[in-house]
Amino acid sequence: MNPQEIIALEKQYVVHTYNRPDFVLERGKGTYVYDTAGKAYLDFLGGIAVNALGHRHPVIVNAIQDQASKLLHVSNLYHTGPQAMLARDLVESSAADRVYFCNSGSEAVETCIKFARKWGKAHGNKTAFVAFEHSFHGRTMGALALTAKARYQEPFRPLMPGVHFSPFNDLEAARALIAEVQPCGVFVEAVQGEGGIYPATDAFLQGLRAICDEHDALLICDEIQCGVGRTGTLWAYEPSEIQPDLIAVAKPLGGGLPIGAALAAEKVASLMEPGDHGSTFAANPLICAVGQAVLGTVNDPAFLASIREKGDYFGEALSGLIERHACVTEVRGRGMMWGVETTLNTKDILPAGYENGLLLGSSGEHIVRLLPPYIVDQGDMDKAVSILDRIFGAK
């Protein structure tokens, strides 16, 4: 089937919730993907922060092949080794005591909502939540209520009530709002992704932890995009030295396969009982075997140090765009998570990237989002910056 036939089939049979470019991707290897015509694209979007180890990484391929030859799925009604071992590895590498597995980032957030609501009912019958401006926590109805983007919310109102938004990185505003609404939980991203690649300051996260303790609220860290090594530490909250009560995890953990998880402190997990929540597909042996392989590869001090080193190099190289192009106004990020703010519209920049063999993302109309795989080398980073130079220089 030729690419135009494939595109025609999608247009006829797939619900139109994405605007896709007019090529068909067929295979990938390392930091590149290739379309059906054989054109190579440097992949600096990584499946929207999913392909942390790039494409066809041997530890992922081997884990899939090995587990697929044994057992794919039996449901959560039975014990399996991969689920138990991945849960152990997540707990031992985080601030959590227990893990609930699900299938996506939005599901991880929905799980945190339910866990926090049950905890809140036992602590003064609290049901409200606080989140932050520019936040993105997902598109399902509960997660959408926590997402501070009117254009995402408006078509689907009324949403879950009781969500209040505060300015990001403004500790005094958060303190006043939390004191006023007395929430059961406060959702925060250590680095906002969809909202524009805005890192939280250490002082902000530390202050939120203290305020949540003061008002008996749960601190819930959304690490769906910024976690599992993306910012150069295993968890993006680590540099602030805080201990979250709940952590939402997804994207890179599956290395390309769908997985989500809510990591919970014992004081929260101990309130949950059989029947309180569930998922048919979650934690099947295949995805947990892959998750264990990815986590084991990333959670190595030398590997994480390499992400930080590459991130410093990439950030400096991207910052040079500001000096060379008046349309580039700011560069923000950490590790393998960067945003380039521009006066241009990303609707024009992304297609130019495709033409030049570079896959990019966006965080709104004026921020180019770059999420390269952790295995990227200096040559690929230089190439990406060179293409961006070409794009910005032509506008």
CATH of span 3-57+301-394: 3.90.1150.10
Strand runs labelled E in the chain:
25-29, 32-35, 40-43, 98-102, 129-132, 163-166, 185-188, 191-192, 198-199, 218-222, 246-249, 260-264, 328-334, 337-342, 358-359, 361-362, 367-370
Q: Per-residue pLDDT for 73 more than 80?
A: yes
Architecture of domain 71-298 in CATH?
3-Layer(aba) Sandwich (3.40)
Enumerate the CATH 3.40.640.10 domain ranges in the chain, comma separated.
71-298
The pLDDT, as a whole number, for residue 394 is: 87
Please state, in angstroms and as integers, the Cα–Cα distance from residue 227 to each residue in 222, 224, 322, following that order: 8, 6, 28
Please state, in angstroms and as integers, the Cα–Cα distance from residue 247 to each residue in 65, 76, 316, 380, following that order: 30, 21, 30, 32
Crossing angle of helices 285-298 and 301-324, rounded to 10°: 70
- Which residues are registered as beta bridge partners of 264? 98, 246
Enumerate the CATH 3.90.1150.10 domain ranges in the chain, comma separated.
3-57+301-394
> What is the gyration radius of the CA atoms in the chain, in angstroms?
21
Q: Per-residue pLDDT for 395 more than 90?
A: no
- Per-residue pLDDT, averaged over 165-172, amounts to 98
- Per-residue pLDDT, averaged over 104-127, amounts to 98
- Per-residue pLDDT, averaged over 42-49, amounts to 98
Q: What is the pLDDT of residues 340-357, one digit of tens each?
A: 999 999 999 999 999 999
- Per-residue pLDDT, averaged over 5-13, amounts to 96
Q: What is the pLDDT of residues 205-254, one digit of tens each?
A: 999 999 999 999 999 999 999 999 999 999 999 999 999 999 999 999 99
